A and B are shown apart, each in its own frame.
Chain A
């Protein structure tokens, strides 16, 4: 017989809110790359202002976690859920900051002509947001195996980053006038690469939540 119905309902609500926050941040990353591709400065401004909502969401979730710790004395897996969520929302919030960072680079680039058609950067964004959503899905489903697999996929993002870096280096070597624009694109790619690393941190927390063991699952190349 379930006894702590109210407490467990609140615990589930917190996890639902993490999904909402993850979806906000995933959208921010996707929009930031769209803004870059389409030189959409309005969209870039919106991403920057929306980041405040992400931060707000993080504080709300954190506050709810603190309330549960203070009033419900969570134990065992319940305790691990709360501790994991507290760590995860900070990673998710930082991914939001990376999206904001990309939006700011978009504003810097302004209406400069594109250096080249963007191919690998959108791929990085797509891969990274897919990893993010699946990692939070693994959180809700208590799926440590999936979380471990997602960590391994960080190599794909790193490889794309290598590719972007090499390609832009070639541009810069051939024509020093491209250095500013190429460097900015490297910054964008770096933001995406770091975001994927943060997803691997989320996955490590999911593994902890399920198994109770803290483990470094995979060290990123960068």
Chain B
């Protein structure tokens, strides 16, 4: 099934500030409800952080935006989830095409066991129906590595195995790999949890520069990281039946200085966890 990309593109201008939105989203894994009634609007070209205790459904929530939950047997999503005002769970939407627009970076850097060049070339080769010539591909790779703040470090070893890079470099390579297919949204699931502090700060700087052109949604356990990098922050927590609910959502500057909900306050000040 082909994605109705024309439809997606045509509506890109609508809802100028809202890139992604959810309305009354419920997520089930079989009979277990993982998320309940989540409604929020994610602004375009900004960083939105999802925080909350372990098991509250942060990653599950992130994965609904590129339909990664489709890959899990028994997973079922209810409610509206829109990208540029288009329901991404509509039958006409091809999940593979969607994931080109909505890229994802994972917790552990997961470069393919191939060269740096081939890692970044992988996406464009796969998505481009007619194929790129080498010159075009080289341009894409250089641009993506520049954007991922990795070019200067790898430009002389594009042919080397990606596995020879440091953890921080590998993660930036994964970001370059996502950028190579020109996404609009980048989902990041704990992108720094396997990295040292310096590599973490580099990724955070990179995120800030990418946010000028991309919509970024990040799940992080690190509240200080959420406070440092994000523009908007959402706090999720589990209810009695272990379903995740949205407790509070607002500008990061407010959520971390003057949260409205006592549960948010208690969580971010370490009075419960």
Contact = CB atoms under 8 A, between A and B. Distances in A.
Interface of A: 1-4, 7-8, 73-80, 211-213
B272 A76 contact: no
B258 A212 contact: yes
A76 B270 contact: no
Given A212-B257, A212-B258, A77 B224 contact: no
Interface residues of B, number: 15
A147 B125 CA distance: 66
B56 to A, nearest CB: 16
Nearest to A79: B257
Nearest to B255: A76
Given A73-B224, A75-B223, A75-B268, A80 B258 contact: yes
Contact of B257 (A2, A4, A76): A76
B215 to A, nearest CB: 25
A75 B228 CA distance: 12
A75 B227 contact: yes
B42 to A, nearest CB: 22
A79 to B, nearest CB: 6
Interface in B223-273: 223-224, 227, 256-259, 264-265, 268-273
Given A76-B257, A212-B258, A2 B271 contact: yes
Nearest to A1: B272
A76 B227 contact: no
Interface centre among B223, B227, B268, B270 (most CB of A within 10 A): B270
A118 B264 CA distance: 54
A82 to B, nearest CB: 12
Contacts of A4: 269-271
Contacts of B272: 1-3
